Amino acid sequence: MKCRILHESSSRMRVHVCQSRMTLEQADILEYYLRSRKFISDVKVFDRTGDALISFKRDCRSKVISALSRFSYDDENTRKLVPERTSRQLDRDFENDLFWTVTKRYAEKLLLPAPVRFVISAVKSMKFIWEALKAIARGKIEVAILDATAITVSLLCRDQKTASSVMFLLKIGELLEEWTHKKSVSDLASTMSLGVDKAWLVCGDTETLVPVSSVKSGDCIVVRTGNMIPFDGYVISGEGGVNQASLTGEALPVHKGEGSYVYAGTVMEEGCCTVRVDKVSGSGKYDRIVKMIEESEKLKSQAESKASHIADKLVPYSLLGTVLTYILTRNLTKAISILMVDFSCALKLAIPISVISAMRESSGCGITVKGGKFLEAVAEADTIVFDKTGTLTYSEPRVARVVPFGGRDENECLRLAACLEEHYPHSIANAVVNEAADRGLLHEEEHSTVEYVVAHGIASSIGGEKVVIGSYHFIFEDEGCVIPEGGEELFKSLPEEYSHLFLAIGGTLAAVICIEDPLRKEAPEVIAQLKNMGLSKVVMMTGDSKKTARNVAKAVGVDEYYYEVLPEEKAAFIKREHEAGRKVIMIGDGVNDSPALSEADAGVAISTGAAIAREIADITISAEDLYCLLTLRTLSRELMKRIDRSYKTIIGFNSALMIGGALGVLPPTTSAFLHNTSTIAISLSNMRNYL
């Protein structure tokens, strides 16, 4: 791409793209391309002028020049960097609407005679009167009645100037409120994604794990228990229960069988289906995320609901104040000034905006939050429960040793274990698959249908022999497998410092895979700081042995720990905490954590965990470290402070405007202007970052 440097400093450069006109799409492509370069710290592209303002790291000027010279609008990899929707078009639509609204207003004032302006105002007032009549028909006294009353009274008094000004200010306020809300939602939705990188593609009689970017419409993919469905499509074989909470808000699984349609972003909670892909791209995923943000009741915290409820309750008092002012002063202008002010607009806009802003900022910190309700729960929680594996320990454990039994080959056992485990990815499964890959152990799909038993293990068969892999409880107690003759001493000598994964073939132990599950180095510090931030009870629950659990609990400093715990026992513990009047946060990453994540006031899943855990969880955090839990707690508490501060400001300022109107200090147009201005100012202030 050809461009010209307009001016520059040691770490900043403004360039002009040498082309006659830049479209909105081209501006987005260039901006996201430059943002993807690690040596560029910030960039803003101005489509009207064709300029790009680039901030970069010191001594990286040559890299910026090189990146610009290599750039092409037509490069497919570059175009994929741009989200399905951006706020650039939204901003442009708002600018155009605002420009034409102001232009029409002043054109009417300058060019049209007074009688014509009066007729135009009377026609425009019909919209407001109709909205008021609809509110009355519903039996509700709402803000629309205040607006319509003020406009109608002004027109009846032949005060066209006041009526016109009121409608103009209401229109400007409506445009600003709509833009503020839509931009907040758009910014949040653009940071959220399905988080699916690969899919099992059916190739003849085999399945191949491929990147989702290589799947095309018409291809067939296999989705198993705990995995997220990456594309919209039709089920052509198999059946299962699909969790569609991200689509409908309903957490109960929906049965899907042959001929059923499934949607991207939903999760196979149980069963296995082969899906023929219908859509691989488009606006569907983005639109569903926006729908979840805008319509889900999860979005509303108790503080938001309280503000909305109080806003509606205050409308009748505004009307009463108007009537009393007129009775006492016999001054219609003073009475109308009170009508120009209400609490509803600010409370119903500014406070939800503060929640959406907190959700957006969370996304920037590697935290995805599904609603303000859960941020409020995190702020108020006094108990936090941690799963161990993949949570207090690293999400990427590794295989330390493979101990074969019965004369079996170590690599063949690992190959078979990886072949089974790759179908149901979680932290332990990933360790087995990665170890096989590191050893160069390629494997073909030789087994039959794979069955996942939640919190226990995986079962399948090869050559007519049953193959199982999983926990000690699953292999020896549930499946009744035995240690091969002569292997008892070897079994007793298994190193206790590792977690153990047992593989059995034909009812006999074939190998024990020793998993090194290193403790997260930041875990002790994070737990100590969480206690300092008001969490009075920190608990660890794990399916591992007592000795392993005790060692980890001691190292990280939890208050209580529980070992060899089943999924339903984790959920039962949280239920007991609720009965004791405590608010609970649950942190987990596996399918077996799903019941507890669902039971908690705020369920937090690790981003690299099972898809079903991420789907059921209310919040998802980055797997990089646990410090984001401190960020989450801090941000949640700051949100509640901002909501409280906004609430007091809105009530105080608008009450002052009403008093000013009643005393005749503020005319109606000034009251309306100050009311709308304050609403937008508070809303814009609430869009600021918290940290």
Q: Are 34 and 25 in contact (CB under 8 A)?
A: no
Query: Percent of the chain scored above 90 by pLDDT?
Result: 33
Strand partners, 470: 457, 502
Distance (Å, whole) CA 588 – CA 320: 53
Q: Which fold has domain 198-292?
A: 2.70.150
| pLDDT at residue 516, as a whole number | 83
Q: What is the CATH number of domain 398-516?
A: 3.40.1110.10
- The answer, yes or no, to whether residue 181 has pLDDT greater than 80, is no
Distance (Å, whole) CA 503 – CA 89: 56
CATH of 3-82, one of 1.10.3470, 3.30.70, 1.10.287, 2.60.40: 3.30.70
Dump pLDDT digits (tens) for 312-368.
677 777 778 888 888 888 887 787 777 777 676 677 677 777 887 888 788 778 888
Distance (Å, whole) CA 103 – CA 97: 10
* Two structure tokens written together for 365: 């910190």
| pLDDT at residue 513, as a whole number | 95
Distance (Å, whole) CA 82 – CA 29: 6
User: Sign of torsion, CA 148 151 154 155?
Assistant: negative
- The answer, yes or no, to whether residue 66 has pLDDT greater than 90, is yes
- pTM across the whole model: 0.65
Cβ neighbours for 23, distance < 8 A, ≥ 6 positions apart: 47
Residue 196: name the closest of 107, 265, 121, 250 by CA: 265
Q: How far is CA 147 from the centre of its chain?
A: 36
Dump pLDDT digits (tens) for 556-597.
999 999 988 888 889 999 999 999 999 999 998 877 788 899
Cβ neighbours for 348, distance < 8 A, ≥ 6 positions apart: 307, 308, 311
| pLDDT at residue 280, as a whole number | 67
Dump pLDDT digits (tens) for 596-606.
998 999 999 88
| pLDDT at residue 390, as a whole number | 79
228-242, 303-317, 365-379, 435-449: which range is least confident on average? 303-317
* Two structure tokens written together for 445: 């799909």
| pLDDT at residue 356, as a whole number | 78
| pLDDT at residue 307, as a whole number | 64
CB count in 10 Å sphere of residue 114: 9
Strand partners, 56: 40
Distance (Å, whole) CA 325 – CA 149: 15
| pLDDT at residue 283, as a whole number | 41
- The answer, yes or no, to whether residue 437 has pLDDT greater than 70, is yes
Q: What is the CATH number of domain 367-393+519-621?
A: 3.40.50.1000
Dump pLDDT digits (tens) for 20-49.
899 999 999 999 899 888 899 889 999 999
Site of tokens 């296999």: 222
CB count in 10 Å sphere of residue 394: 21
| pLDDT at residue 76, as a whole number | 81
Domain boundaries, given as residue ranges, for the chain: 3-82, 92-189+299-353+639-686, 198-292, 367-393+519-621, 398-516
CB count in 10 Å sphere of residue 58: 8
- The answer, yes or no, to whether residue 299 has pLDDT greater than 60, is no
| pLDDT at residue 199, as a whole number | 83
- The answer, yes or no, to whether residue 370 has pLDDT greater than 50, is yes
Instruction: Reduce the secondary structure of 198-214 to three states and give it as a string.
Output: EEEEEECCEEEEEEHHH
- The answer, yes or no, to whether residue 193 has pLDDT greater than 60, is no
Dump pLDDT digits (tens) for 589-598.
877 788 899 8
Over residues 419-439, the mean pLDDT reads 83
Over residues 481-498, the mean pLDDT reads 90
**Which of 172-176, 537-541, 625-629 is modeled with the greatest confidence?**
537-541
Q: Is 450 exposed, middle or buried (0-12, 13-18, 19+ CB in 10 A)?
A: buried
Rounded to the nearest 5°, which phi and psi values hold at 503? -115, 125
Over residues 625-644, the mean pLDDT reads 92
Cβ neighbours for 515, distance < 8 A, ≥ 6 positions apart: 397, 398, 399, 400, 428, 431, 498, 499, 500, 501
Tell which wins on pLDDT, 297 or 51: 51
- The answer, yes or no, to whether residue 305 has pLDDT greater than 80, is no
Q: Are 336 and 153 in contact (CB under 8 A)?
A: yes
Average pLDDT, the chain: 83
- The answer, yes or no, to whether residue 189 has pLDDT greater than 70, is no
Q: Is 492 exposed, middle or buried (0-12, 13-18, 19+ CB in 10 A)?
A: exposed
- The answer, yes or no, to whether residue 72 has pLDDT greater than 80, is yes
Q: Are 623 and 608 in contact (CB under 8 A)?
A: yes
